[in-house]
Structure 1
Amino acid sequence: MGKGGQDQAKRADLTPPKSNFPAWSKTIPECESHFKVSADRGLSTAEASDRLKIYGPNELEKHSGPSIFQLILEQFNDTLVRILLVAAVVSFVLAWYDGDEGGEMGITAFVEPLVIFLILIVNAVVGVWQENNAEKALEALKEIQSEHAMVKRDGVFTPNLPARELVPGDIVELRVGDKVPADMRVLYLISSTLRVEQGSLTGESAAVNKTNKRVELETTVVNGSCVCMVVQTGMNTEIGKIHSQIHEASQEDDDTPLKKKLNEFGETLTAIIGVICALVWLINVKYFLSWDYVDGWPRNFRFSFEKCTYYFEIAVALAVAAIPEGLPAVITTCLALGTRKMAQKNALVRKLPSVETLGCTTVICSDKTGTLTTNQMSAVKLLAMGRWTDSLRSFKVDGTTYDPCDGKIHDWPGSNMDANLQMIAKIAAVCNDASIAHSGHQYVASGMPTEAALKVLVEKMGLPAGCSPSLLESDGLLRCCQWWKGTAQRIATLEFDRTRKSMGVIVKSKSGSNSLLVKGAVESLLERSAYVQLLDGSVVLLDDNSKHLILQALHEMSTNALRCLGFAYKDDLAEFSTYDGEDHPAHKLLLDPSNYSSIESDLIFVGMVGLRDPPRQEVHKAIEDCRAAGIRVMVITGDNKETAEAICREIGVFRPEEDISMRSLTGKEFMFHLDKKSLLRQKGGLLFSRAEPKHKQEIVRLLKEDGEVVAMTGDGVNDAPALKMADIGIAMGIAGTEVAKEASDMVLADDNFSTIVAAVGEGRSIYNNMKAFIRYMISSTIGEVA
């Protein structure tokens, strides 16, 4: 058989791999076998073409939205509007009929029906304009998708292959800045490390290190490069699943509370008007329907069509008088004015009906990080070693922002810093990739929030006596950090990973000697530390008593919801003692992250710091306002349980001594709970930690089934389905993704929980104003009918 025949037979035998294959949990050979591909050669052009026919293009489905005609019809899907429409049509016909019959056909006869028609047309135009912009969330998702990819076909990497042509089994190379074009499994790393920004999809705040052992889901490569295998494309990817969830949620849009009540009122009003009109017409039936009586018996039947029409006009006029024609216009005007007021309070309303829905809100489901807290990490406690191995020194640190001048360190020795404190400052400043800038009226950090907080701490610590900072930065914000960097030049970086839970840098001092500076999880550093540095700089063995003392202090800080980082260093670097760059023989050890733990061994432990994301100052009062207004607050966060509970107690979601054993659950605990609705019906606040997107959706669904009006906050792509499902989806304007904003009903310009509460208060005021307008109009129409 010739080569062409072999290829044809091979393509004929091709069966599509199962779509639910968990590639991330399988070995590389298992993945190659399942997808029938070799990582060295990739797919052939013919195989890729066949698979493209089986799986379809790697793109999101285009859901055709409703036509303009359908949108126009939907605007008349309202009881009062339909009554007005019928009344206007009948009035117009009767006015025309009167004119044709020789009646007084003046312009005044058409004023009423024309005014009603004009009101309905304006109302329909506004409604169509809103609805036409409601599905942009699905379009925003497509911006996340990559347009091109470097794909290996027939053993050769093809650059700029359209991403829509990717199929499961394709071998793709990713580099820094690339958008990940499909769900993929890492085969091997080209660089020493690989970090991926996936926060918009998973909710993680930091870029995540990846290896070829197991991977989760990613979006953008921020560091390193690798070769991957495509495992899912198009609508089968995680982005595709979110796309489907948003579309499903958009199909389930419920009427707003006010619209439901107006529809009920309209149905009642229709019945009453119908009865009254029929009675009025029947009462006057004797004037157009009669009999001539002869000898007491009815003989000749008399019917006056003109009088019948006349009294029918009276009945119709009565119906028109009973309907508040200006109601749609009044409601639209109130809502439009309400959006302007809310915008002044940093709440940007995207859909008019959301204004009145806010006024009916009974439950607020809020994220913690950035909404209830500042999303600015700050150091609050510094622990250093004492004069002896059985003593520790503790320093309280003030300040809640990235402003180096915000707060101070209590009981600080000033420029008389001992050798131990100097080493802590040096590690915090040099083993650090963050930076801080002054933007407008606030200080903004770039990089990891924890690292930014460490740099602020270094500035508060100051410099040792006799040291003058060089103003290397134009604004002089981080002068102390720059000075420490001048004393130790970074020549290599051991990137953080989840296995060893630390980051290290090899630095060269001015004297020419190399040393290793490390920061990371305290327990992890203690396991790899053999020594401890005391107050005077002397180094002694790390005994069990010292280790127990440090771990006890760590437990106390962790109990108070502090995130703790330890500091350590090492002077004896063996083969790295003369390391000077990529040409050094020891550089090959840095290419394999599995070597980092052995390099970071026999460390000298120097101290630790406790950091936290402090709550916003105004949040406590906002929580109290919610409680007073009868609004329940539920905190749903991806953070750990202990930290979230401490924050919730501090801001007033829970009382200081309240038993929260049944009020604080993880997302998984909630999903396995036997009676979820009873749990959600509890009075007072609730906390759901380690929550995933599907947990948020389930909570919203159950609350809505129970008759609650739910406001939900979110910022990531993964929050979009829950935002769409909630009665009021509230996206973060600063930290939120475009997908979340487009799926939401309201956007917070300042990402602040108190803004939500202020918006709810404004919504209630508007809702009450509209009810007052409606009562006034109904009372006026009753007068007209009477």
Structure 2
Amino acid sequence: MFLDKAKPHKRLKKSFQAIYFVVSLAKNVIINNTQIILPRLLQSPSYVVIDIHSNHNDDNEDDHHISFFDISPNALSTLVREKDFHSLSQYGGIKEVAAILGTDRKVGITTEESEITRRIDVFGSNTYTKPAGKSFLSFVFDAFKDTTIIILLACAVLSLGFGIKQHGPKEGWYDGGSIIVAIVLVVAVSAVSNVKQSRQFEKLSSQSSDIKVEVVRGGRRQPISIFEVVVGDIVCLKIGDQIPADGLFLDGHSLKVDESSMTGESEYVKVNEVGNPFLLSGTKVTDGYGHMLVTSVGMNTAWGMMMSLINRDLDEQTPLQARLNKLTSYIGKVGLLVAFLVLIALTVRYFTGNTEDEHGNREFTHGRTKADDITNAMVRIVAAAVTIVVVAIPEGLPLAVTLTLAYSMKRMMADNAMVRKLSACETMGSATTICTDKTGTLTLNQMKVTEFWLGKEAMTDKTSQQIAPNVLELLQEGVGLNTTGEVYRPLSTSTPEISGSPTESAILSWAVFDLAMDVDELKRSRDILHVEAFNSEKKRSGVLARRNSGETVHAHWKGAAEMILAMCSNYHVRCGRTTAMNDEARVQFGMIIKDMAAKSLRCIAFAYKEDTVESGEVTRKLEETGLTLLGFVGLKDPCRPGVKSAVDSCRDAGVNIKMITGDNVFTAKAIAIECGILQPYEDLNDAVVEGVTFRNYSDEERMEKISRIRVMARSSPFDKLLMVQCLKQKGHVVAVTGDGTNDAPALKEADIGLAMGIQGTEVAKESSDIVILDDNFTSVVTVLKWGRCVYNNIQKFIQFQLTVNVAALVINFVAAISSGEVPLTAVQLLWVNLIMDTLGALALATEQPTNDLMTKQPVGRTAPLITKVMWRNLIAQAAYQVIVLLILQFKGSSIFGVNKQVKDTLIFNTFVLCQVFNEFNARKLEKKNIFEGVLKNKLFLGIIGATIVLQVVMVEFLKRFANTERLNWGQWSACILIASLSWPIGWLVKFIPVSSKHFLGLPNY
């Protein structure tokens, strides 16, 4: 407790009784007396502020008024969440809440680490407690839900029961037990893969939530992570920002917020100090700018409480996965049909006495065969049929997509691309058109004022000394008051720190250094009466201001030069004289703008109108006609290094680049030529269009010209959206880059939305599929390359996987029908599924993007997933494997002089080794050199090596489990030789042309 009264008045003594009572209830008490405000954030998360006010009454005695304020996290959370004006007034308003929290409205909170830590201890951190993710056992349980696994388990239990009954517990468990062990291995691998995928999604989700916000601490405006925001912080808000915590409006202009994420209402809510000062986390700023005082963070915010009730499902099935599931289902039906035919054929063969045991005796003799023997035989027949189903269903396809996407997403993060939606990876590989912004994407977004024109005269160095004082003062007003940027002058140095958007920062920097503008003095001496925030349709912003207690009011406008010029009737010259703007002068100003644009300069104009206060009333409307032009500035934003080569790469890859910008047509054309989107020697009549022209086309004209348009200037958000819609109607797969709130509709409409991670607003990022972390168009091209790589890797695995399935299905079916037995047992095929699905998918998923991918035309929207080239390769390899395995099935014993058990082992071993060699073939779908770059992929080589080692273990050491016999060196050499022939076959088959519409009449998927 803090008191400065040595001998308190008797009334105060009575008040102390109340204070002591509060102390007994609260863990911590803070007392503010009349002389000293002593707010202190203490270690406990529950405390009370006691405010003692002394007033001198008529009896020359002090009246002591005591107020108790509960500023616990729960109280402040309730205040904002319920928009409780009554409680806010009891605190004394927003200013008093700021004082209680120890926040200076201009300086913010201190930057001392100890102070930040205390605030986190008291009010919590700005993080959310996520619901617990699915456990490993949950994924195991999900894996056991697979129909094939259930059928295999049933067969395993039956086999286990009858085996123990027939051969005793010591040896009877081998068949059933080995199936169970194989099932456990498959389920474990599937569960582990899904767990890793889930963790990857959680990690990406956390990264996508880690956005940057600007706060004022220690008088300095600085960007911090949203997770570092604490109670008492002052947050700077502008259009497109996501509000990072619950808080109260401090100051600002024209601030509107979209609260639909919290309330479901689509109407934008006006926020101001009087009518509605409450700001909720998770909502988004749609207009204006301002500052907010943070009162609640993390789980104490309205958003945090809502998030605690939501169990986020991180599983996302991409369109390609759905397409593959459909393919898997189709193949599975074929497998079921074949399995049913095998079941019927084997059953008929058994009961007609056409099957023999290992001693050459008939297995079934009418009237003499025991019931147990019949049951055992039927279990064996059902197991053989189930084996057909196991080998037919390519369960690895969806898993391959998951592994490929998860691996690619992780690698893309290193290439400055954060994937927010899985489907974007595969869709980007099909992109045919990229609609890109100019500023910050094609250019560096490092603006600098390089030219200034006052009237018709270009100003050189020492601008402030060349301009008349009255014009200089007006220019300083127009720049310093009509801005969302800030100038901070640290005590330690004379160099000011300028913050804000690149355009605002460049203009402020020019005004501070060239116009000798003192922003602090300017703002102290002016009253801002009204602000018109920048509007993407009007492309200008305005401010209404007057000198303190003065009678003259100035309406200042700043924006796109041709827009401002159209509003002007007069202009200033260097000496300060005002001159009427005739048609000749207007044409001359137009030429100045055009010349600056031709030099790739963004041209910004300043204008004003003066008015006089009458009867003490000031109109809140900014005049938009009859303005006086103050001058033009030209801002240079150089192209990013490497952009031209990136655009050339896209052109070689058959991807069209369209630049959509708000700049005028001359600036847009100059930048497009500099970046390589346009060529200076070509006819640009149809290639460049303005937004207003594009939107006024008829539907037929628009669709006819859309393919030829490569630059759209002076575009509005609607124009960009219309462009995307038209391209999609044309059948293009469209990727769109954007950074502003106004880009959100186009980002959502596009097949792939690419938001900028540095300059992009949170609304843009929320509407996107991929966030480009460095705002660089080169990274967009890298994403395109990765997308093609993902698509290509998945095609490789499909070819590889279907070769396995076709070969195994045919060999087992033919063998079952002809001899009544299947050479590949359920356990062996489960092993093949395990190594070919999981390890094979991982090996082919880790292939890196190559420059060759950018020399092919895009696959587009309707190209088949299984191409004619894939069918050719698949059929050739499957046919070779089937022929070899059937020869071994029927002639293997005589060729090698071995018994049936060794022959079946040779078939199994040859089959697996064929897949190992064919995995090299699958690396290159069209190229004949299948070893190109293989040494760079260490993981691929490691997986191949692990597969071979495991196969040796299966054959040589797991006789009971895998139903195999040991092979000698000659037999191993024969298996390797037979399998290695798949390499020359793969090389030869690539000489076969596949130009026909449907290769061998096979369907496209």
Q: Shared fold (TM-score greater than 0.5)?
A: yes
Query: Is structure 2 residue 479 aligned with structure 1 residue 432?
Result: yes
Q: What's the counterpart of residue 547 of structure 1?
A: 585
Query: Is structure 2 residue 461 aligned with structure 1 residue 419?
Result: no
Q: What's the counterpart of residue 273 of structure 1?
A: 335
- Contact residue 471 and residue 576 of structure 2 kept, 8 A: no
Once the two structures are superposed, what CA deviation does each residue of 1:71-90 show, in whole Å capped at 9, x if it has no partner? Answer: x999999xxx99x9332222
Once the two structures are superposed, what CA deviation does each residue of 1:640-695 show, in whole Å capped at 9, x if it has no partner? Answer: 666545544443334433335476363794487424894587267464853336x6
SS of equivalent to 2:585: helix
1:164 & 1:275 partners in 2: Cα distance?
Answer: 53
> What pairs with 1:98-117 in structure 2 (closer than 5 Å)?
98-102=159-163, 104-106=172-174, 107-117=177-187
Q: 2:403 aligns with which of 333, 346, 349?
A: 333
- Contact residue 436 and residue 660 of structure 2 kept, 8 A: yes
Q: 2:390 aligns with which of 320, 332, 342?
A: 320
Q: What's the counterpart of residue 378 of structure 1?
A: 448
Q: 1:523 aligns with which of 541, 565, 569?
A: 565
2:334 & 2:457 partners in 1: Cα distance?
Answer: 81
> What pairs with 1:151-550 in structure 2 (closer than 5 Å)?
174=273, 178=277, 218=287, 256=318, 258-290=320-352, 304=374, 306-383=376-453, 393-394=457-458, 419-420=466-467, 431-433=478-480, 434-435=485-486, 445-447=498-500, 449-457=502-510, 482=516, 491-492=525-526, 523=565, 527-529=569-571, 532-533=573-574, 537=575, 547=585, 550=588
Q: 1:690 aligns with which of 694, 715, 740?
A: 715
Cα distance change of structure 1 residues 549 and 566 upon mapping to structure 2, 3 Å threshold:
same
Query: Is structure 2 residue 675 aligned with structure 1 residue 651?
Result: yes
What TM-score comes out, normalization by structure 1 length?
A: 0.56
Cα distance change of structure 1 residues 456 and 515 upon mapping to structure 2, 3 Å threshold:
same
SS of equivalent to 1:527: strand
Cα distance change of structure 1 residues 289 and 68 upon mapping to structure 2, 3 Å threshold:
farther
Cα distance change of structure 1 residues 779 and 715 upon mapping to structure 2, 3 Å threshold:
same
- Contact residue 147 and residue 164 of structure 1 kept, 8 A: no
Task: Supply the RMSD in Å over aligned alpha carbons.
Answer: 6.1
SS of equivalent to 2:573: strand
Whose RCO is larger (CA < 8 A, sep 6+)? 1
> Deviation of residue 393 (structure 1)?
4.9
Compare the two structures and name the one with the higher helix fraction.
Answer: 2
> Deviation of residue 108 (structure 1)?
1.7
Once the two structures are superposed, what CA deviation does each residue of 1:19-52 show, in whole Å capped at 9, x if it has no partner? Answer: xxxxxxxxxxxxxxxxxxxxxxxxxx9xxxxxxx
Letter in 1 for 2:173: M
> Deviation of residue 752 (structure 1)?
2.4
Q: 1:88 aligns with which of 149, 155, 172?
A: 149
Query: Is structure 2 residue 793 aligned with structure 1 residue 769?
Result: yes
1:438 & 1:746 partners in 2: Cα distance?
Answer: 38
What TM-score comes out, normalization by structure 2 length?
A: 0.45
Once the two structures are superposed, what CA deviation does each residue of 1:313-341 show, in whole Å capped at 9, x if it has no partner? Answer: 22322332344555544443332222222
> What pairs with 1:699-778 in structure 2 (closer than 5 Å)?
700=724, 708-716=732-740, 719-720=743-744, 722-724=746-748, 726-778=750-802
> Deviation of residue 93 (structure 1)?
1.1
Once the two structures are superposed, what CA deviation does each residue of 1:593-617 show, in whole Å capped at 9, x if it has no partner? Answer: 569899x98x7x7754333555434
> Deviation of residue 416 (structure 1)?
11
SS of equivalent to 1:100: helix
1:485 & 1:589 partners in 2: Cα distance?
Answer: 27
Once the two structures are superposed, what CA deviation does each residue of 1:288-330 show, in whole Å capped at 9, x if it has no partner? Answer: 23289xxxxxx98999554343233223223323445555444
Q: 2:691 aligns with which of 662, 666, 670?
A: 666
> Deviation of residue 525 (structure 1)?
8.4
1:503 & 1:482 partners in 2: Cα distance?
Answer: 21
SS of equivalent to 2:156: helix
- Contact residue 665 and residue 687 of structure 1 kept, 8 A: yes
Once the two structures are superposed, what CA deviation does each residue of 1:232-255 show, in whole Å capped at 9, x if it has no partner? Answer: xxxxxxxxxxxxxxxxxx99x996
Cα distance change of structure 1 residues 562 and 525 upon mapping to structure 2, 3 Å threshold:
farther
- Contact residue 287 and residue 307 of structure 1 kept, 8 A: no
Q: What's the counterpart of residue 18 of structure 1?
A: none
SS of equivalent to 2:792: helix
> Deviation of residue 747 (structure 1)?
1.6
Letter in 1 for 2:426: E
Q: Select between 338-347 and 588-597 the one with higher mean Cα deviation.
A: 588-597
Letter in 2 for 1:258: L
1:721 & 1:565 partners in 2: Cα distance?
Answer: 27
- Contact residue 179 and residue 221 of structure 1 kept, 8 A: no
> Deviation of residue 98 (structure 1)?
0.7
> Deviation of residue 164 (structure 1)?
7.3
> What pairs with 1:573-652 in structure 2 (closer than 5 Å)?
591-593=618-620, 608-611=632-635, 613-637=637-661, 643-652=667-676
Unpaired runs of at least 5, structure 1: 1-44, 46-66, 151-162, 182-197, 203-217, 224-249, 293-298, 386-391, 396-411, 459-477, 509-513, 576-585
- Contact residue 174 and residue 221 of structure 1 kept, 8 A: no
Cα distance change of structure 1 residues 272 and 680 upon mapping to structure 2, 3 Å threshold:
farther
Cα distance change of structure 1 residues 129 and 523 upon mapping to structure 2, 3 Å threshold:
same
2:523 & 2:185 partners in 1: Cα distance?
Answer: 79
- Contact residue 527 and residue 547 of structure 2 kept, 8 A: no
> Deviation of residue 92 (structure 1)?
1.5
Cα distance change of structure 1 residues 677 and 341 upon mapping to structure 2, 3 Å threshold:
farther
Cα distance change of structure 1 residues 109 and 532 upon mapping to structure 2, 3 Å threshold:
closer
Cα distance change of structure 1 residues 328 and 515 upon mapping to structure 2, 3 Å threshold:
closer
Q: What's the counterpart of residue 1000 of structure 2?
A: none
- Contact residue 570 and residue 580 of structure 2 kept, 8 A: no
Q: What's the counterpart of residue 828 of structure 2?
A: none
2:182 & 2:585 partners in 1: Cα distance?
Answer: 88
- Contact residue 641 and residue 666 of structure 1 kept, 8 A: no
Q: Select between 483-492 and 698-707 the one with higher mean Cα deviation.
A: 483-492
Cα distance change of structure 1 residues 588 and 445 upon mapping to structure 2, 3 Å threshold:
farther
> Deviation of residue 258 (structure 1)?
3.3
Unpaired runs of at least 5, structure 2: 1-85, 87-131, 165-171, 212-240, 251-261, 293-311, 355-364, 491-495, 812-1005
Letter in 2 for 1:289: F
Q: Max radius of gyration: which structure?
A: 2
2:583 & 2:687 partners in 1: Cα distance?
Answer: 38
SS of equivalent to 1:751: coil
SS of equivalent to 2:479: coil
Once the two structures are superposed, what CA deviation does each residue of 1:430-474 show, in whole Å capped at 9, x if it has no partner? Answer: 6532456899xxx9853465453234446xxxxxxxxxxxxxxxx
- Contact residue 429 and residue 455 of structure 1 kept, 8 A: no
- Contact residue 715 and residue 736 of structure 1 kept, 8 A: yes
1:444 & 1:745 partners in 2: Cα distance?
Answer: 34
Cα distance change of structure 1 residues 628 and 524 upon mapping to structure 2, 3 Å threshold:
closer
Letter in 1 for 2:716: A
- Contact residue 504 and residue 516 of structure 1 kept, 8 A: yes
Once the two structures are superposed, what CA deviation does each residue of 1:400-455 show, in whole Å capped at 9, x if it has no partner? Answer: xxxxxxxxxxxx5x67997349998776556532456899xxx9853465453234
Cα distance change of structure 1 residues 368 and 321 upon mapping to structure 2, 3 Å threshold:
same
> Deviation of residue 539 (structure 1)?
5.6
1:436 & 1:290 partners in 2: Cα distance?
Answer: 97
